[in-house]
Amino acid sequence: MRRRPGLVPLALIALSALGCGKKAEPVVDVPTSNPPAPAPVPPPPAPATNPTDPNAEAARVTAAVRAELGNVIHFDYDQDAIKPEDRPILDRKAAILQANASLRIRISGHADDRGSDEYNLVLGNKRALAAKRYLESKGIAASRIDVASFGEERPADPGQNETSWAMNRRDEFEIIAGGERLVQPR
C-alpha cells in the first residue's frame, strides 16, 4: 500500500482545528415565563346618543313617570283605610297628576281570596274609592280618576299564606288617557 504524504498532515490539521475550537458552553435551562396575556379587548362603544335629544329625554321621563304611577299600595286584612306608609306614594301620584293636566287614571281595587266573591268585589271597590278620595283631597278632579274592583279575581300572588294574601290586598293604578308624553312634577 502506498502512502500518500499529503493526506496525513491534512487530516492532522483538520483534527487540531476541531480540538482548538472554543469550548461549548453548557446548556442551562432558563425558566421561560408565559408570555403576558393580551390586553382585554374593550367593549364596543355605546351607540352614540345625543344627550340633548329632546325626544329621547321626553321618552325617558315619560317611562319614569309611568313606572312611578304604576306603584301599588296595600291594605290590611278586611280594611280599606290608606296605610301611613302608602301616603307618600299617593302624594307623588297627586303631584304627577297635577303636573300632567290631561292625564287620567283608573284605580283598581283588589282583595285576597278569603271571603265571598261578592264581599271581595265590594271591598275592592271601597279600597279604590279610598285612594280616589285621597287624591281628590290633594286637588285632583274626580273626573280624572276612574275606579274599578276586581275583588279576588286577579291575584298578584296565587299562594295561600299571609304573605300572598297581603300582596293581593292592593290598589293598582293605570293610565287610561293623556299618558303619551308625561313630565315630572316640579
Q: Is residue 77 part of a domain?
A: yes
SS3 call for 26? coil
Query: Chain-wide mean pLDDT for the chain?
Result: 85
Q: Is residue 70 part of a domain?
A: yes
What pLDDT, on a 0 to 100 scale, did the predictor assign at position 53? 81
Q: Are 146 and 176 in contact (CB under 8 A)?
A: yes
pTM: 0.71
Domain that holds residue 101: 55-177
- CA separation for the pair 125, 111 (Å, rounded): 9
What are the counts of helices (DSSP H) followed by strands (DSSP E) for the chain? 5, 4
Q: Is the pLDDT of residue 43 over 80?
A: no
CATH no. for residue 116? 3.30.1330.60
Phi, psi at residue 43, to the nearest 5°?
-65, 155
Query: How many domains does the chain contain in total?
Result: 1
DSSP assignment, residue 54? H
Q: Is the pLDDT of residue 32 over 80?
A: no
Q: Is residue 146 part of a domain?
A: yes
pLDDT digits 0-9 by tens, 51-67 = 568 889 999 999 999 99
pLDDT digits 0-9 by tens, 84-109 = 999 999 999 999 999 999 999 999 99
C-alpha cell at 53: 335629544
What pLDDT, on a 0 to 100 scale, did the predictor assign at position 54? 80
Q: Are 169 and 151 in contact (CB under 8 A)?
A: no
